Chain A
Amino acid sequence: MNDMRIVERTVDTHDVKIDAKDVNVHYGTSHALKGVSVAIPDKTVTAFIGPSGCGKSTFLRCLNRMNDTIASCRVDGLIALDGEDIYDRRVDPVQLRAKVGMVFQKPNPFPKSIYDNVSYGPKIHGLTRNKAELDEIVESCLKKAALWNEVKDRLHSPGTGLSGGQQQRLCIARAIATSPEVLLMDEPCSALDPIATAQVEELIDELRSSFSVVIVTHSMQQAARVSQRTAFFHLGNLVEYGETGQIFTSPQDPRTESYISGRIG
């Protein structure tokens, strides 16, 4: 596409944050991802779309090694975060996950207070020296997650008592509290109503200024709304990866075309 855009949507000016080259994932004998290569730019929202079982969530979970928890899962290929291979033997996945935060499909706040939810990450990673610093982190993260005004008077009431949208924003606050460099989101709005979805999407757009955000979504409209780059997965292959506007107006691959226009492909 040409660069003569009136709306500021710079996507090609940033450095590559995550560089995946020829990633293959096997679950036991099934080949879940086939030779995926993607360069995810920094400070950009990248959306992964595709039908169920296409490997998009699998790939997302490779990016912070959440697949390690599945015994039968085997990952080949290179995934580099700022040029460092995250599957290197010296990498501790726990440390990696502090840098690559994750928000899940279902809002899953810990059954603890709102404050404890947000402060948990900084606490276990020893990011703060005292209570005042922790308070500060909690407040700033809740503010970033656009939740502060709604919960500031009840920080010590349980996080599970919030509404679905608030819970998901709490989970985002919790994820950004460890000051990650990349935020992975696995269908973060699939359990939310449209208003809460809009709030979370607005939040994602704001987070873009500080993080590289990767979002898996089943809603193509959501991918279109929030992302700058879109990758379409199909049957374990990365079919097409490009600027979101281009993917949604004139995709190059007929499979992408069929999928995003709702045809039996």
Chain B
Amino acid sequence: MTNDNPHIASAFDRDLEAVQALIMKMGGLVETALLDAAEALVTRDEEMAIRVRNGDNAVDALEEQVNAECARLIALRAPNATDLRTVLTVMKIASSLERCGDYAKNLGKRAMVLTQMAPIGATAGSVRRMAKAVQLLLKDALDAYIARDVALAADVRLRDREVDQMYNALFREFLTHMLEDPRNITACMHLHFIAKNIERVGDHATGIAEQVIYLVTGKHPEDARPKADVTSGPAE
């Protein structure tokens, strides 16, 4: 949070910083939840999965808090220009992170179920790699937000493509497993949803990066975001 040009009303600065600190806290929680869920999946640690599932309540509560703070800021401070964009992006990022939290929770739930089933090849490891990559993406997006770093944000947008490619690879792998043995279908479906959700978190990270670009430049990125998710596109 750069503060080389403070407001005349210092309470305004404090409010803005407080609400952004909440975002950071949310981001941290979501990142951990994501990693933990993937870890639980790999180590087949049911307890950890349960912890992840329950941990989402904190994220939801934080989002509520961010929204309330933003409403207060808008009502009391009537923010303009950068301040306005800050508040707008904070709200959007909070909502993105809340969704990400939900995905992590879903990951946890499915990991719980999957502990009861036979593992599907080495897919859990791949999922964890993907989760790791997405967590990094999310972290970079939030770092870009803190530093108001447009270059890093643009980089995050580009790197989402890699996540998409990972997802495509996993998608094919699951297909293969399901075709091999129909008994794998339940586990594979769960795993596929897990992969899809992780991919969605990546999308949200990209969304956050775009918010960073808007926050700094005042303009939304004009070029279409590079996409590599071909599974929903026309038949290959």
Contacts and interface: CB of A to CB of B under 8 A. Distances in A.
Task: Report if A and B touch in the complex (beta carbons < 8 A).
Answer: yes
Interface of A: 220-221, 224, 248-251, 256-258, 260-265
B8 A257 contact: no
Contacts of B84: 248-249, 261
B80 A261 contact: yes
B183 to A, nearest CB: 53
Contacts of B5: 258, 263-265
A263 B85 contact: no
B80 A263 contact: no
B6 A260 contact: no
A167 to B, nearest CB: 27
B218 interface: yes
30 contacts: A220-B80, A221-B78, A224-B80, A248-B80, A248-B84, A249-B80, A249-B81, A249-B84, A249-B85, A249-B218, A250-B219, A251-B81, A251-B218, A256-B81, A258-B5, A260-B80, A260-B81, A261-B7, A261-B79, A261-B81, A261-B83, A261-B84, A262-B7, A262-B9, A262-B12, A262-B80, A263-B5, A263-B7, A264-B6, A265-B5
Nearest to A248: B80
B218 A262 contact: no
A263 B8 contact: yes
Contact of A257 (B6, B78, B82, B219): B82
Interface residues of B, number: 17
A221 B79 CA distance: 10
B25 to A, nearest CB: 25
A226 to B, nearest CB: 15
A263 B12 CA distance: 10
Contacts of A249: 80-81, 84-85, 218
A112 B78 CA distance: 40
Closest 6 CB pairs of A and B: A250-B218, A260-B80, A261-B81, A261-B83, A261-B80, A257-B81
Given A257-B81, A261-B84, A264-B6, 14 more contacts: A248-B80, A249-B81, A251-B81, A260-B80, A261-B79, A261-B80, A262-B8, A262-B9, A262-B83, A263-B5, A263-B6, A263-B7, A264-B5, A264-B8
Interface of B: 5-9, 12, 78-85, 217-219
B115 to A, nearest CB: 50
Contacts of A258: 5
Contacts of A260: 80-81
A221 to B, nearest CB: 6
A257 B219 CA distance: 15
Nearest to A260: B80
B81 A248 contact: yes
B16 to A, nearest CB: 10
B4 to A, nearest CB: 10
A255 to B, nearest CB: 11
B2 to A, nearest CB: 12
Contacts of B83: 261-262
Nearest to B12: A262
Nearest to B86: A261
Contacts of A248: 80-81, 84
Residue among B8, B12, B217 with max Cβ neighbours from chain A (10 Å): B8
B31 to A, nearest CB: 30
A250 B78 CA distance: 15
